[in-house]
DNA sequence: CCTAAGATGCATTATCCATACACCTTATAG
DNA sequence: CTATAAGGTGTATGGATAATGCATCTTAGG
């Protein structure tokens, strides 16, 4: 038996917000400072998010003047499930005995149910693409202060 | 947009373990001290768990000598999903704007996807009963030190 | 070569949960 | 009727983890 920490951290939250923001920009380019301001969140933290998104191959990061972030793959090709799996640290398949503190592990049936439930959770997110959640309508752009 | 803290706390973990333990006992009765010892977990914490399980109507708590905990409903009637929904504090439907810190809430499409994913997660657990995960085989009882 | 942008590491702070402790209540045995 | 075994309750402490802040470096245009 074990505990599946399935909390989505703000790190993952910010990752998704950032991708949405970039996808909504007419030219498809945004800077960290711009996203941080739009959502009123920490620029420092966002920088780390941006870096990881770059390393994971979701965005291309451009340094220097006129730089910023650009989607590295089409929005229709990036699923929410994929991003969550990649960004959320504890969603990775961790052996239940990571802490080795459960006695009935070998015979634990709850483990299977929890695993199946988690897969069902991710399956729904796998069916949702960035294009689905970043529809460039006027309302969304308005709320984010993005000119059409 | 928001963040769904879907981590299962040890509180929920203990709740399920405790229910399993009671269900596995030949006479269907267990004490807090006994369960705490079997799993090597905090008796203090377990006591709060036991109390909540009692309030939620899953067990009947009996004070005094010869007391302990007894299932208040048949194991085939208690689903894991039901317990998780009841015990996990943040799984309750919290408005996304609980913190009021997200700008695009009104137009947020990610919200819907996350909500659907959570429902899929719980649906799997709804299909699992306590009887399914507390099968009284020799292995499980052996690991818990429960005599048949 | 100045400035705008991201990269990186470290330190600090905040949050939340698990745990411990202290004391109370209930009930049965003898 | 008292001792003891059980659960009930509230407060306080500690620890893990994550969010944040700060300092410094690197890269690229103009």
Domains detected in chain B: 10-144 (1.10.10.10)
Length of chain A: 148
Q: B53 CA to D6 C1', in Å? A: 17
Residues 30-49 of B, Cβ under 7 A from nucleic strand D: 31-33, 44, 47-48
Mean pLDDT score of chain A, rounded to an integer? Answer: 84
- Could you tell me if residue A110 is left (phi over 0), alpha (psi between -120 and 50 degrees) or otherwise beta? alpha
Length of chain B: 148
Q: What is the pLDDT, as a whole number, of residue A80?
A: 94
Mean pLDDT for B70-95 is 82
Residues of A with Cβ-Cβ distance to B12 under 8 angstroms: 3
Which nucleotides in chain D lie less than 7 Å from some protein C-beta? 4-10, 18-23, 26-30
Q: Do B114 and A101 touch (CB under 8 A)?
A: no
With CA atoms as reference, report the closest residue to B144 among A88, B107, B109, B134.
B134
Strands (E), chain A: 29-30, 59-62, 68-71
Please tell me whether residue A68 adopts helix, strand or coil conformation. Answer: strand
**Smallest CA–CA distance from B39 into chain A, residue:** A103
Mean pLDDT for B108-137 is 90
Q: A40 CA to C14 C1', in Å? A: 18
Which helix (H) or strand (E) segment holds residue A89: the answer is none
With CA atoms as reference, report the closest residue to B1 among A7, A136, A17.
A17
With CA atoms as reference, report the closest residue to A19 among A89, A69, A68.
A69
pLDDT category at A11 given cuts 50, 70, 90 is confident
pLDDT category at B12 given cuts 50, 70, 90 is confident
Q: For a pLDDT cut of 90, what percent of chain B falls above it?
A: 48
Q: Considering Cα of A82, then A88, then A89, then A95, what sign does the dihedral take?
A: negative
pLDDT in tens, A66-116: 999 999 999 999 999 999 989 886 654 344 434 445 655 556 788 888 889
Q: List the beta bridge partners of residue A29.
A: A70
Mean pLDDT score of chain B, rounded to an integer? Answer: 83
Helix and strand element counts for chain B (H, E): 7, 3
- Which of A61-70, B35-44, B103-112, B115-124 comes out lowest in average pLDDT? B103-112
- Which of A63-67, A104-108, B13-17, B110-114 comes out lowest in average pLDDT? A104-108
CA–CA distance, A116 with A39 (Å, rounded to integer): 35
Query: Which of A3, A115, A146 is the best mutation test for B, with the most CBs of B within 10 A?
Result: A3
pLDDT category at B75 given cuts 50, 70, 90 is very high
- Could you tell me if residue B40 is left (phi over 0), alpha (psi between -120 and 50 degrees) or otherwise beta? left
Q: What is the pLDDT, as a whole number, of residue A63?
A: 93
Which nucleotides in chain C lie less than 7 Å from some protein C-beta? 3-9, 17-22, 25-29
Q: What is the pLDDT, as a whole number, of residue B97?
A: 39
With CA atoms as reference, report the closest residue to A34 among A146, A109, A115, A132.
A146
CA–CA distance, B58 with B73 (Å, rounded to integer): 6
Which helix (H) or strand (E) segment holds residue B71: the answer is strand B68-71
pLDDT in tens, A25-75: 989 999 999 999 888 888 988 999 999 999 999 999 999 999 999 999 999
Q: What is the pLDDT, as a whole number, of residue A8?
A: 78
Nearest 5°: the CA angle B134, B137, B143 is 85
Continuous H helices in B8-128: 10-24, 32-39, 43-55, 80-87, 110-126
Q: What is the pLDDT, as a whole number, of residue B105?
A: 60
Query: Are A77 and A129 in contact, with CB atoms under 8 Å apart?
Result: yes
- In terms of pLDDT, which residue wins out, A88 or B107? A88
Q: List the beta bridge partners of residue B79.
A: B129
- In terms of pLDDT, which residue wins out, B41 or A73? A73
């Amino acid at each position: 038996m074990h505990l599946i920490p399935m909390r989505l951290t703000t790190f993952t939250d910010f990752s998704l917000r950032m991708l949405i923001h970039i996808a909504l920009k007419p030219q498809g380019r945004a800077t960290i400072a711009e996203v941080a301001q739009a959502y009123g969140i920490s620029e420092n933290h966002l920088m780390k998010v941006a870096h990881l998104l770059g390393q994971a191959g979701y965005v291309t990061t451009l340094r220097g003047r006129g730089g910023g972030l650009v989607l590295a793959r089409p929005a229709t090709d990036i699923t929410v499930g994929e991003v969550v799996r990649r960004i959320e640290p504890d969603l990775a398949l961790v052996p239940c005995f990571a802490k080795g503190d459960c006695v009935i592990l070998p015979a634990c049936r709850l483990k299977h149910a929890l695993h199946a439930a988690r897969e069902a959770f991710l399956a729904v997110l796998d069916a949702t693409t960035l294009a689905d959640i970043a529809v460039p309508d006027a309302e969304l752009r308005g709320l984010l202060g993005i000119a059409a």
